[in-house]
Structure 1
């Protein structure tokens, strides 16, 4: 299969036993029988065939490592996952998926486009096996899913129009910012709103491209989003720059980027909470591609430095 193709329709997908573990029914040991003549009910013990039960469980359980793993992802989110002009899927997450699943685990993979604000419920409903979507690991999400070991460090940052009067963090007070729904960028904006006593308006968009377009159109005065995605847009768009200033990265022990950072975050691959064995295998694969230099090769293809 072409590893850069993906599922453009989210419905009706049955891949590698993906949905097999989602069905079930009552498995009680009693049945109720009604006798017409006496109009009374009696309970009769039903003895289950243990062999049949075992076979049924084996048939419905998801394999530890599927033949094809379906990956939920919010697309487009350049440079992590996005379509080329020819319609192929590419990006940092896509190449890391190739290294982990094809090269290390020897299985196929497919990306399934999914709205980010509903991506965790979709995972837990069995619509796909995992999430790879530049997803930040945090306590709130960790209550609903399990995460792999971190595979990327990111920062929440602010971009503005170059001709804007906004030149510092404090200048955001009273302004309107754009964010993507369900993201940690939206959370960072809410934090600023609280810091400013409510004097910050937040416009939410289904995809980050909507927030970027709103910035260009003057519908918002700034966009709060992951640094690498903001950088990709700012580098391609004249008249858009990062908001300068010290932030949480400057206060930490790690090297700080030359712009305002509102948060320090780590991305992880999300799994359903009952998928421990597959998660362990993926963690092993992630460790291997870091050790053998593959991770650095992929990183250098998409990010400078």
Structure 2
């Protein structure tokens, strides 16, 4: 019995030894295929919007196309403006070959974003603490700030204090409306749906002033020649792209794209085109 066990042990040792020797001569396990740039294949995006861009090469943008020179429709019903041109450049950096715009009243932009009617908001929207409770923002892409617009012949309104008791046009859902309601409740607000309606209310003498973003106010005043923008900065604000809170990776990608456009000079070219030096 002892001899049998000893022989069996020797046989097992021999088999194990042979297996080890054979293993040393075998090929190593297959490695993942390398990508074309020499690294490992890129992982698929986990962000819903980034995956959609990868699959469809399209970015869906919500905007209120009534706010020259940021976003508006020309005589051919085509989208134009600073925001329009810049976001197309951003989209190209993200790998999107096409940008589709969804024209939406400003007050409906955040609900539309949350309802997934579009991927992001690009509509001269100020980054505010209140809005950040419901959506996220990209890094700021342009400075704004509220100012006052009056008729050329109006010399009685020189600042915010002079707006008390006066009729002032603002667009519904904007920072202008919120600012005046909180800071100057004595102002008689005239809230309108479209940005251009504010200026028409002023030019037709139905209101005494308009409170809106300074960049757009200056451009309109230059075109109109009937109104002027006071050298008054009511607030310091910055415009940002609105994004759903669950799309964190998309925000990172937007910030990276904006950084690239700033560094290569493309954003400055677009700023100069729409706002001058």
TM-score where L is the length of structure 2: 0.78
SS at 1:142 equivalent: helix
Bigger Rg, structure 1 or 2:
2
CA offsets, 1:22-80, max 9 Å, x none? xxxxxxxxxxxxxxxxxxxxxxxxxxxxxxxxxxxx9xx55535221110001111001
In the TM superposition, residue 166 of structure 1 has moved relative to its aligned partner by 2.4
Match for residue 172 of structure 1 among 151, 163, 167: 163
Contact 1:102 1:109 in 2 (8 A): no
- Count of residues in Structure 1 that have an aligned counterpart in Structure 2: 228
Q: Secondary structure at the match of 1:263?
A: coil
Q: What is aligned with 2:23?
A: none
2:212 to 210, 220, 225: 225
Contact 1:156–1:188 (CA under 8 A) maintained in structure 2: no
Q: Deviating runs (4+, > 6 A) in structure 1?
A: none
User: Do the aligned partners of residues 69 and 106 (structure 1) sit closer, same or farther apart at CA in structure 2, a change above 3 Å counting?
Assistant: closer
Q: Structure 1-normalised TM-score? A: 0.71
Name structure 1 gaps, 5 residues minimum. 1-57, 244-258
Conserved? CA contact 2:49–2:250, under 8 Å? no
Q: Where do 1:140-179 residues align within 5 Å? A: 140-169=130-159, 170-179=161-170
Runs (5+) with no aligned partner, structure 2: 1-44
CA RMSD between the two structures: 1.8
Tell me the residue number matched to 1:269: 241
More helix by proportion, 1 or 2? 2
Q: What's the CA shift string for 1:233-260, capped at 9, x where partnerless?
A: 11111221112xxxxxxxxxxxxxxx10
Select which of 71, 79, 83 maps to 1:89. Answer: 79
Secondary structure at the residue paired with 1:119?
A: helix
1:84-163 mapped onto 2 (5 Å cutoff): 84-163=74-153
Distance of 1:229 and 1:62 partners within structure 2: 30
Q: Is the aligned partner of 1:283 residue 2:255?
A: yes
